[in-house]
Structures are given as C-alpha cells and as structure tokens.
C-alpha cells in the first residue's frame, strides 16, 4: 500500500470485551488498517457502520440480541459497499453458512493466526472471498445441502438458464473447492480464461463473490453433499 492510499477502515463487532480488545491490538497497528469503531452486539454494529462507514466489519456470529447473521443481512442490504468478515468457532459452522447466505464476504475460525486475520481483512477489502476452499466445501456439504430448519424455495438461482455449458462446468469445479489454477488444469484452459468465466458466472447468477457462488451451487443441486474437487 502506497503512503497516499486510504487505509482500510475496520469495525470490530464482538460481545466479549477481551476479544474486541485482542482484535483491535492485532488490526490497529497493522500498516494500511485503521480500526474506526467497536461494537458489542449486532444492532450497535449496524448503527456504527452507518456512522463510520467502514470498509470491512469483522463480525462475531454469536452475539446477544441482534446476532452477527442478522447484522450481516442488514449491512448487505443497507451498506452494500461494506464487506463483512465473519468470525466463529469450529462448532458453530451452521451459523457461518447462514452468514454467507446473508451476504458475508468470508469467514474465519477464531483460532486463526494474526497473520491470517490481517490477510483475510485485506482480501475481503479487495472484493474477494476470504474462505479456504476445502473448509468452505466441508461446511457447505454438511449444512447447505442438509434439510433447512424452515422450508426453502427450490427455485433455481436467477440467471441459471443464461450460463453456457463451459460456465456451468467452471461453476461446478469452483463449488467443489478448486481454485482458479485447479480449474484451469482440470479443463485445460488458461487461468485468465477461468477468471473471465468466473466473472461471467457471478454476473449472471447475481452473486457477489466465490462464497455466494458456492452456496448457489449447493442450493441449486449442481453439486451435492460429499462432493470434492
């Protein structure tokens, strides 16, 4: 980041003061990052996001009152330029998937290293999804393809009939956990061609990033639980 570049404005939302303090101590001193506010629940996170307009919200999923999933859904609707990086523990996977459905740009377990957290904040700030493909595939195989708690429409995602055969194959491989290089090897095409296909898939399906594209693939039945790259 050049000296003249604007810092990444980060809002931290967690109901535990020690966790908030720890996250602030990791993120605050990092080059190119500015912690602009801290919230102790989802309602406050949304309120402070409107006030401070952060680039990234580091959001705990389980909070009292308005939780991280509800807050993420509101932010995705009310402040679409604000990216949410969800935090959770390994035994709360279902809530993380719910956050991705709500519009989170990615998620991390709370035991990640400071370096991984910083990298994820920078990644979601660029518009990419900060989700490890293998971890995402495992979570979605367990929860997205499982019967939902409430009835869910089986209607195909918008734009599905606009996809070409090659775009559908790229989408399928992306959903099974392959990165761009892996998709290129599997299909025998260049990395730039893969990137172009993914951009087209995102546009036609009206999804923001890789995480939402994977969720759409599971919910449409393109891939099923247990599928791997």
Here the CATH number for the domain that contains residue 225 is: 3.40.50.2300
- pLDDT band, residue 17 (cuts 50/70/90): very high
Q: Same domain for 146 and 111? A: no
Residue ranges making up the domain that contains 168: 133-229
Q: Same domain for 74 and 176? A: no
188: left (phi over 0), alpha (psi -120 to 50) or beta: left
Cα 91-217-103 angle, rounded to 5 deg? 60
Helix (H, G, I), strand (E, B) or coil at 9: strand
Q: Same domain for 111 and 140? A: no
Q: Same domain for 118 and 14? A: yes
Of 110, 131, 152, which residue constitutes the final position of a domain? 131
- pLDDT band, residue 93 (cuts 50/70/90): low
Of 96, 131, 166, which residue constitutes the final position of a domain? 131
User: Which of 91-100, 116-125, 191-200 bottoms out in mean pLDDT, i.e. has the lowest?
Assistant: 91-100
Of 114, 131, 148, which residue constitutes the final position of a domain? 131
The pLDDT value given to residue 38: 97
Q: Same domain for 13 and 117? A: yes
In a domain, 3, yes or no: no
Kindly provide the residue ranges of all beta strands, DSSP E only, lying in 61-143, ordered along the sequence. Answer: 83-88, 106-109
The pLDDT value given to residue 142: 61
In a domain, 197, yes or no: yes
Per the structure, the count of domains in the chain is 2
Q: Same domain for 147 and 97? A: no
Mean pLDDT of 127-143: 65
User: Which of 45-49, 90-94, 106-110 bottoms out in mean pLDDT, i.e. has the lowest?
Assistant: 90-94
- pLDDT band, residue 151 (cuts 50/70/90): very low
CB neighbours of residue 12 within 10 Å: 28
What is the rounded distance in angstroms from the CA atom of residue 147 to the CA atom of residue 102?
18
Work out the mean pLDDT of the chain and round it to a whole number: 84
- pLDDT band, residue 122 (cuts 50/70/90): very high
The pLDDT value given to residue 97: 74
Q: Same domain for 114 and 142? A: no
In a domain, 186, yes or no: yes
DSSP-assigned beta bridge partners for residue 60: 87
- H, E, C per residue of 21-61: HHHHHHHCCCCCEEEEEEECCHHHHHHHHHHHCCCEEEEEC
In a domain, 1, yes or no: no
Better-predicted residue by pLDDT, 161 or 53: 53
Q: Same domain for 101 and 168? A: no
Cα 34-37-41 angle, rounded to 5 deg? 140
Residue 15 confidence (pLDDT) above 90: yes
Q: Same domain for 66 and 77? A: yes
In a domain, 19, yes or no: yes
């Amino acid at each position: 980041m050049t000296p003249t570049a604007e810092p990444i404005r980060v809002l931290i939302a967690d109901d535990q003061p020690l966790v908030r303090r720890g996250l602030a101590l990791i993120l605050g001193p990092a080059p190119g990052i500015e912690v602009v506010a801290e919230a102790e629940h989802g309602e406050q996170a949304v309120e402070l996001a409107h006030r401070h307009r952060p680039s990234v919200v580091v959001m705990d999923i389980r909070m009292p009152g308005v939780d991280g999933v509800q807050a993420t859904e509101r932010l995705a609707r009310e402040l679409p330029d604000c990216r949410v990086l969800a935090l959770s523990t390994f035994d709360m996977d279902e809530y993380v998937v719910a956050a991705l459905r709500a519009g989170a740009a990615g998620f991390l377990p709370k035991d990640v290293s400071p370096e991984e957290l910083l990298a994820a904040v920078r990644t979601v700030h660029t518009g990419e999804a900060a989700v490890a493909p293998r971890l995402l595939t495992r979570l979605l195989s367990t929860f997205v393809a499982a019967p939902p708690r409430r009835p869910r429409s089986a209607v195909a995602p918008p734009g599905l009939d606009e996809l070409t055969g090659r775009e559908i194959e790229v989408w399928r491989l992306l959903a099974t956990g392959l990165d761009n290089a892996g998709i290129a090897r599997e299909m025998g095409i260049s990395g730039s061609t893969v990137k172009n296909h993914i951009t087209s898939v995102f546009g036609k399906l009206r999804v923001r990033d890789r995480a939402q594209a994977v969720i759409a693939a599971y919910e449409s039945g393109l891939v099923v639980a247990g599928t791997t790259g």
